[in-house]
A and B are shown apart, each in its own frame.
Chain A
Amino acid sequence: MEAFNAVANAIIPVFIVLIVVYASFKRVNVYDSFIEGAQDGIQTVFHIMPYIIGMLFAINIFRASGALEILNNAISPLFNLIGLPKELTPLALLRPFSGSASLSLLADIYKQYGPDSIISKIASTMMGSTETIFYTVALYYGSIKIKKTRYTVPAALLSTLAGIIAAVFICNITFGK
């Protein structure tokens, strides 16, 4: 575990050193380039701010109103068909909408069932193999003013579903009763 943590923590510093050393070697004005890019980065944030506000606004309404729970109750029988425990449908539903909310839900699941229970392991695997689709789609397309996203959302949802099914399947085999 400690060796693992050390590797995980070292990834970013190593990445940064690689960039700076490589560029210096190639005689790039590293500091000037950094400032140039940083300026660009700040502009990007201001550019995407309205999309983030708009998306969080809708997601918060959807969650606080209980609409997500209704959707959850409606869909959970469907998820049961693929063997997903009922306790995990909220996570499966919330995950495409919000990363931070699903992470706090995951912490909740650990607390309730114990981090080493099969439920928690399926939840962890799901969490590690899926992404916040709606947020990503809104942000990426919004930033370049694309209106017609075509088959992006269906294909992304299909891939998430595949991730969930795979998580249930592999965890039952690996950690099964």
Chain B
Amino acid sequence: MINYIWAFMIVFGIIVSFITGNVEAVSKAIMDSCTTAVNLCIGMLGIYALWMGLMSIAKKSELTNSLSSKMQPILHYLFPNVPKASAAMGFISLNIIANMLGMGNAATPFGLKAMEEMQKLNKSTSIATHDMCMFLVINASSVQLIPSTVIALRQASGSLQPTDITLTALFATACSTIIGIVAVKALSSHRGL
């Protein structure tokens, strides 16, 4: 799937650029993308090292285990094939907590670790498991309790009530997450998928 999307964005984009005469802009965008990507990664180096470092402390102190055991009932419903005491469950709970608290740059390293651990439980090396699909959809649906970035931007833009979208965003987030979970649950019961 991702192979097709990737190819489509590039091929369709370049064809369009020839039709619309945006070739020059596209050439520039291509070169810019490398710089942006590398700058992004350099920025991530520090953040990732920091969060993974703190996380390693949390893991050694069994804080992650006790967290995930508290979240066990709901986690077991969402990820039925991930064993209770596995490292995967610890990272999944950390990822979800970080997402809820709006710590996006902490959520991603936890998420990648969770994927790595879930892959160890995967019988196939190249096909996603149901649990991975569920994890991705939850991550893609945003479970953030307080949209701090948006609020900061609203405040910076001179809004009189920057926080008044907190509750509406919470409602919308709840809807998107619930529909995502329902969709994965429904689709996972089809054997062909």
Chain A interface (Cβ < 8 Å from any Cβ of B): 1, 4, 8, 11-12, 15-16, 19-20, 22-23, 25-26, 28-30, 33-42, 44-46, 48-49, 52-67, 70, 103, 106-107, 110-111, 115-116, 120-121, 124-134, 136-156, 158-160, 162-167, 170-171, 174-175
A48 to B38, CA, bound (A): 11
CA distance A115 to B133 in the complex (A): 36
Chain B residue with the shortest CB-CB distance to A71:
B12
Q: Tally the A-B contacts, defined by beta carbons under 8 Å.
A: 355
Q: Are A64 and B53 in contact (CB under 8 A)?
A: no
* B103 interface contact, C-beta 8 A: yes
Contact yes or no, A146 B127, CB < 8 A: yes
With A and B bound together, what is the CA distance between A162 and B183 in angstroms?
Answer: 11
A140 to B25, CA, bound (A): 30
B-to-A contact residues, CB < 8 Å? 1-3, 5-6, 9-10, 12-14, 16-17, 20, 22, 25-26, 28-30, 32-34, 36-38, 40-41, 44-45, 48-63, 101-103, 108-109, 111-113, 115-116, 118-119, 125-128, 132-133, 135-137, 139-142, 144, 146-151, 153-155, 157-165, 167-169, 171-180, 183-184, 187-188, 193
Q: Which residues of chain A are within 8 angstroms of B157 by Cβ–Cβ distance?
A: 107, 110-111, 115
Specify which of B6, B45, B112, B163 is in contact with A140 (CB 8 Å cutoff). Answer: B112
Q: Is the interface of B mostly helix, strand, loop or mixed?
A: helix
CA distance A111 to B174 in the complex (A): 28
Q: Shortest Cβ distance from A131 into chain B, in angstroms?
A: 4
Q: Compute how far the CA of A25 lies from the CA of B60 in the bound complex, rounded to whole angstroms.
A: 12
Residues of B within 8 A of A150 (CB): 127-128, 133, 187, 193
